[in-house]
Amino acid sequence: MARQRAQRAKAAEAPRETFKSMSPSEFFYHYKEIAGFDNPTKALYQAVRELVENALDATDVHGIFPDIFVSIEAVDREESFYRITVEDNGIGIPPNNVPSAFGRVFFSSKYKLRQARGRFGLGAKAVIIYAQATTGRPIEVYTAPIGSRRVYYFKLKIDIQRNEPLVLARGEFENPSGWHGTRVSITIKGDWSRARHRIYTYFQRTAIAAPYANIVFVDPDGNVVVYRRTLNKLPPKPREVKPHPHGVDAEMLKQLISRSNAKTMLEFMVETFQGVGKKTAEAFLEYAGIPKDLDPHRLSERDIVRLVSKMREFRKFRPPSADALSPLGPEVIETGLRSILKPEFVVAVTRRPKVYEGHPFIVEVGIAYGGEIPPQEEPMLLRYANKIPLLYDERADVAWKVLHSFDWKTYMVTFPAPIAVLTHIASTKVPYKAAGKESVAEAPEIEQELRNALREAARKLREYLLKKKREEEAKRRIVTFMKYTPEVAKSLAVILKSYGVKESDIREMLLTAMKKRLGLPEEEFAKLVEGLEVSVEE
Amino acid sequence: MARQRAQRAKAAEAPRETFKSMSPSEFFYHYKEIAGFDNPTKALYQAVRELVENALDATDVHGIFPDIFVSIEAVDREESFYRITVEDNGIGIPPNNVPSAFGRVFFSSKYKLRQARGRFGLGAKAVIIYAQATTGRPIEVYTAPIGSRRVYYFKLKIDIQRNEPLVLARGEFENPSGWHGTRVSITIKGDWSRARHRIYTYFQRTAIAAPYANIVFVDPDGNVVVYRRTLNKLPPKPREVKPHPHGVDAEMLKQLISRSNAKTMLEFMVETFQGVGKKTAEAFLEYAGIPKDLDPHRLSERDIVRLVSKMREFRKFRPPSADALSPLGPEVIETGLRSILKPEFVVAVTRRPKVYEGHPFIVEVGIAYGGEIPPQEEPMLLRYANKIPLLYDERADVAWKVLHSFDWKTYMVTFPAPIAVLTHIASTKVPYKAAGKESVAEAPEIEQELRNALREAARKLREYLLKKKREEEAKRRIVTFMKYTPEVAKSLAVILKSYGVKESDIREMLLTAMKKRLGLPEEEFAKLVEGLEVSVEE
């Protein structure tokens, strides 16, 4: 006690801090909101989402039509423990990588310049950490790479303080059917009744962006929902690309140089960057005032910073390749919107690739209008990034900002209106605001492209609305005209009888005159007249 | 080439992925938006903020009145390189901890159950990583712990791939003046013209919440702004506390048991948790059906999960201690709001400590009304969490939600109104949505407390507005009355002349009658009449 008192007095005299280190697992264990696991409701949704997105990344990215099975079972209703199972028909995971892929935060196959849903190397691990915190149960994994004669089984946890996998059991089975893919099961605390709506919305939105997938979902109440494949075409496969000179910073350039075997700057430029041929490299090095036969390993820190700055300035590099990207395409978007929202009109726009901070990106916008969409005070916004739907934090998203500063009136839309807008940002790097991937930050280039895409789509909507309005007006005019046609024809017939003109001919003439007046093509006119009931007395 | 082709064919046959590990430094280097470094504008603001918050955490938390000096210099206008310097008079950093404190992501003195501005062990490192990416320059640190006879100097970078400090230079100097504190300088790419407004707002808001601090800021244009101490009182020092039984999950309980030397469950409960005495521990163990002399190390995983669930159910634990918290208090809030916003009315409420998921928290709300606050369509919202102002992502914040679903009319506020609302959440764990610390997630308990606090403050505002309205009405009545008083008095005087009643007496009588009718106390009445210019003809 005396010692304690003395210590306390000393501490009061000169307060010092004790320092501690945390593993990345521990960090996300303590700050689970950052990974999107705020509470049992959000966690159930986030867990489903992370596992489904891994499943999709194992399939369409590699040219496989996804067949995804998802179930949530209530294993302990009193404690609100739910077992989530997700199975895909993807490329599987090599067995030697399984422990780290599930047991080590910041370990991933997706740290590449190639578009994927996941990017952080965090999702599945965050689910496991949350499971350990709430139910204490391990994850179970069955996996078989393509062509594997065996199916591999693992039961594992994460040693959170060490950020290392703890394999509790493993096994191997024959694979006579040649199955490939991954099946994971994990039990977490959740709140199904609150998460229900969000999870169903998630599946619906996922189905809109992946009409080429079959998704089966069995919920804890035993309901089975099937999102059936409605499109037999996959989006283009994204390819891994080299970095673009405009996307490089001082730190990356230093790393690239230290990893390179190039003997000269010319060689280095050509080998390291995408779209840089010998000529471009020479032109650039001259512009930057760097001798082309300089050994890149001899650049000083200051040279490197200058080089980066020159690289950003130089305007003659080819624009970043879009090979790494996989946009949805208008067909996918229109099919998706049509089959889920059942609108009367739908249009989609895929913009050409652009660049922010050296990262290529493509913006896509779809608009669905009328039909079964209920009129609302603001447009229904369906946000996507790299094909995944974003449901939370809408108001913090750049797309929300663009939609809400958009001049809808110019495009003949006045609210309340039955309108839904889909936005999709495809990029090798989506600037998410948080690791939970719910909203996209305001990169000026992305904002501008969203605005351009929205305008382009809205112009087509306006054309449609204009045509619709014109048709309605024409219809009104025809109805008015038609009302009098029989009488006019009759009167004229009486006068022209002596000339042998038939009443039916007169009516025909009148219609032709009207058609000319309305200036509509034959086909459209026929469509308009078709529905009209005009009783003409013969 | 032939080999490459063969390889490609094989890969097409069975696509496999290559896996890679990332260090935490690398993660935040690649995803800098997650730490709040989205672009040069945001980065300049975020860097200032992280360094200032570290400076404040080194002072007031330890009972020192903060003297903070901040400067931003343009060191290369063409490249937009800015040098940020922040100096504090805090407790300093022990020299052996300096390299890791600045060179290792997830290394901190703040991983404790005690309120602090920082919590992640990330802020300063994120600044350094951003500096390396943009300017390639190291951080320079001067520090002296309290009572240190030397000042220590370090120049360092981070080995991003290894998440380790790279010390480039170090030194020691005599410290004859007995200085203590820390001074850091770092050069990053920024955008001062765009960040300017945000940074000034940040200082203003910081000054509101820390009127007991002196803050001097020299901006790149040479302007010097001084936020002078206006309150000579520090908020209570937060103390480190033991975990509360309601805040423990399965993973944490497992760790607590493995670290404990307790031989029995009774011992374990009493030693490990806050506010659990022998009696409470015995009552709880009986409730949970666990023998009190059981060795805690013999609990199975399943037992641990059950124990957690029982701990959460048990209602007889003392509520979490608020010792770890340091609310601002009404005096700080009112002084801060008054000195910066210059309103006509101000009120602040500090609620009693509450708990979410076992973490104690205190909600505070201040309302400033009228004066120099311009009328706006919605209340101006000043959000704080653990004393730091939150400026971005307002619409994603729980406080915004509460404010915007609040029934202001009930409290006599109709918009546009000249009203500002300050919200402060103090907790050992603020559920931030992202590591950039800009918005707070929607924990139901916090939301409820915000609503309660807002109601409590708004009730006082209503009282004030009611009184003001009453006074205005009274004033109007007085004015009306006063207008006629001289005439009435004169007429009466004529009639009453024969009785020797003087006109002035009559006026006096009339005023007394009015005073009685209005039912106002003498003082208030005097105040009301005072300003009125009523020309009474004598």
Percent of chain B with pLDDT over 70: 89
Is the pLDDT confidence value at B1 over 60? no
What's the gap in Å between the CA of A98 and the closest CA on chain B?
Answer: 10
Which pair of tokens denotes residue A254? Answer: 């230093």
What's the gap in Å between the CA of A481 and the closest CA on chain B?
Answer: 52
Pairs of CB atoms within 8 A across A/B? 197
Is the pLDDT confidence value at B474 over 50? yes
> B19 and A97 in contact by Cβ < 8 A?
yes
Residue B16 main-chain phi, psi, to 5 deg: -125, 160
More confident residue, A528 or B364: B364
pLDDT confidence tier of residue A191, bands split at 50, 70 and 90? very high
pLDDT at residue A492 in the model: 67
pLDDT at residue A470 in the model: 86
Residue A196 main-chain phi, psi, to 5 deg: -45, -55
Nearest to A79 by CA among A189, A187, A220: A189
* Residues A458-504 pLDDT 10s: 999 999 999 998 888 877 777 776 666 667 667 767 766 766 667 77
Sheet strands (E) in A370-448: 380-385, 388-390, 419-427
Is the pLDDT confidence value at B481 over 80? no
Angle between helix A40-57 and helix A123-134 axes, rounded to 10 deg: 140
Cα(A44)–Cα(B357) distance, integer angstroms = 17
pLDDT confidence tier of residue B535, bands split at 50, 70 and 90? very low
Q: Are A183 and A141 in contact (CB under 8 A)?
A: yes
Question: Span A322-347, mean pLDDT?
Answer: 92
> Please, which residues bridge with residue B376 across strands?
B417
Cα(B506)–Cα(A261) distance, integer angstroms = 108
Does residue A416 have a cis bond before it (omega within 30 degrees)?
yes
Cα(B339)–Cα(A104) distance, integer angstroms = 51
Facing residue for B108 by CB, picked from A20, A109, A135: A20
* Residues B290-341 pLDDT 10s: 999 999 999 998 899 999 999 988 989 988 888 889 899 999 999 999 988 9
Choice among A188-192, A426-430, B328-332, B534-538 with the minimum mean pLDDT: B534-538
* Residues A79-133 pLDDT 10s: 899 999 999 999 999 999 999 999 998 888 877 777 778 767 788 999 999 999 9
Q: Is A252 on the interface with B (CB under 8 A)?
A: yes
Cα(A32)–Cα(B46) distance, integer angstroms = 22
pLDDT at residue A31 in the model: 83
Q: Around B170, how many Cα atoms within 13 Å sit in the side-chain half-sphere? A: 12
> A251 and B129 in contact by Cβ < 8 A?
yes
Neighbours of A341 (CB within 10 A): 22
Is the pLDDT confidence value at B517 over 80? no
Nearest to A21 by CA among B308, B107, B199, B54: B107
Percent of chain B with pLDDT over 90: 61
pLDDT at residue A34 in the model: 82
Quick one: which H or E segment has residue A322? none
The contacts of residue B473 (CB under 8 Å, 6+ apart) are: none
Cα(B480)–Cα(B487) distance, integer angstroms = 12
pLDDT at residue A8 in the model: 44
pLDDT confidence tier of residue B213, bands split at 50, 70 and 90? very high
Q: Is A27 on the interface with B (CB under 8 A)?
A: yes
Question: Span A355-360, mean pLDDT?
Answer: 83
* Residues B6-46 pLDDT 10s: 434 444 466 667 788 888 898 889 888 888 898 899 999 99
> A20 and B431 in contact by Cβ < 8 A?
no
* Residues A210-237 pLDDT 10s: 999 999 999 999 999 999 998 898 988 8
pLDDT at residue B531 in the model: 59
pLDDT at residue A11 in the model: 40
pLDDT at residue A113 in the model: 74
pLDDT at residue A495 in the model: 67
Write the burial class of residue B207 (CB in 10 Å: 0-12 exposed, 13-18 middle, 19+ buried): buried
Residue in A26, A32, A34, A447 to test binding to B, most B beta-carbons within 10 Å: A34
More confident residue, A153 or B4: A153
For chain B, residues classed under CATH 3.30.230.10 are: 330-464
Neighbours of A43 (CB within 10 A): 27
pLDDT confidence tier of residue A531, bands split at 50, 70 and 90? low
Cα(B288)–Cα(B265) distance, integer angstroms = 11
Which pair of tokens denotes residue A259? Answer: 């990893």
* Residues B402-459 pLDDT 10s: 999 999 999 999 999 999 999 999 998 898 887 778 888 888 889 999 999 999 999 9
Q: Are A421 and A464 in contact (CB under 8 A)?
A: no
Nearest residue of B to residue A160 by CA position? B251
Q: Are A101 and A161 in contact (CB under 8 A)?
A: no
* Residues A261-307 pLDDT 10s: 999 999 999 999 998 999 999 999 999 999 999 999 999 988 999 99
ipTM value of the model?
0.79
* Residues A139-151 pLDDT 10s: 999 999 999 999 9
Nearest residue of A to residue B128 by CA position? A251
Nearest to B432 by CA among B27, B1, B214, B117: B117
Facing residue for A120 by CB, picked from B29, B31, B136: B31
Angle between helix B40-57 and helix B192-209 axes, rounded to 10 deg: 30
pLDDT at residue B6 in the model: 47
Cα(B296)–Cα(B167) distance, integer angstroms = 44
The contacts of residue A460 (CB under 8 Å, 6+ apart) are: A347, A349, A367
Kindly report the length of chain B.
Answer: 538
Does residue A320 have a cis bond before it (omega within 30 degrees)?
no
Sheet strands (E) in A388-451: 388-390, 419-427
What's the gap in Å between the CA of B353 and the closest CA on chain A?
Answer: 21
* Residues A419-430 pLDDT 10s: 999 999 999 889
First-last CA distance in chain B: 116
pLDDT at residue B14 in the model: 65
Class of the CATH domain delimited by B330-464:
alpha beta
pLDDT at residue A499 in the model: 66
pLDDT at residue B537 in the model: 41
- Which CATH fold would you assign to the domain B245-313? Helicase, Ruva Protein; domain 3 (1.10.8)
Mean pLDDT, rounded, of chain B? 88
> B109 and A431 in contact by Cβ < 8 A?
no
Cα(A173)–Cα(A183) distance, integer angstroms = 14
Choice among A242-251, A428-437, B525-534 with the minimum mean pLDDT: B525-534
Is the pLDDT confidence value at B163 over 90? yes
Q: Which CATH number fits domain A21-227: 2.60.40.10, 3.40.50.300, 3.30.565.10, 2.60.40.1930?
A: 3.30.565.10
Which pair of tokens denotes residue A132? Answer: 């350990």
3-class SS at A157?
Answer: strand
pLDDT at residue B320 in the model: 83
Residues of B in contact with A250 (CB under 8 A): 132-136
Is the pLDDT confidence value at B195 over 90? yes
pLDDT at residue A9 in the model: 47
> B250 and A38 in contact by Cβ < 8 A?
no
Nearest residue of A to residue B61 by CA position? A15
For chain A, residues classed under CATH 3.30.565.10 are: 21-227
pLDDT at residue A239 in the model: 87
Mean pLDDT, rounded, of chain A? 88
Which pair of tokens denotes residue B158? Answer: 């981070």
3-class SS at A370?
Answer: coil
* Residue type present at position B308: V
* Residues B76-113 pLDDT 10s: 998 899 999 999 999 999 999 999 999 998 888 877 77
Residue with tokens 């709506």: A197
Sheet strands (E) in B254-379: 345-350, 354-356, 359-369
What's the gap in Å between the CA of B305 and the closest CA on chain A?
Answer: 6
Residues of B in contact with A310 (CB under 8 A): none
* Residue type present at position A53: E
Cα(A85)–Cα(A231) distance, integer angstroms = 26
Choice among A291-295, B217-221, B236-240, B265-269 with the minimum mean pLDDT: B236-240
Is the pLDDT confidence value at A369 over 90? yes
Secondary structure tally for chain A: helices H, strands E: 15, 16
Question: Span A415-443, mean pLDDT?
Answer: 88
Cα(B122)–Cα(B325) distance, integer angstroms = 22
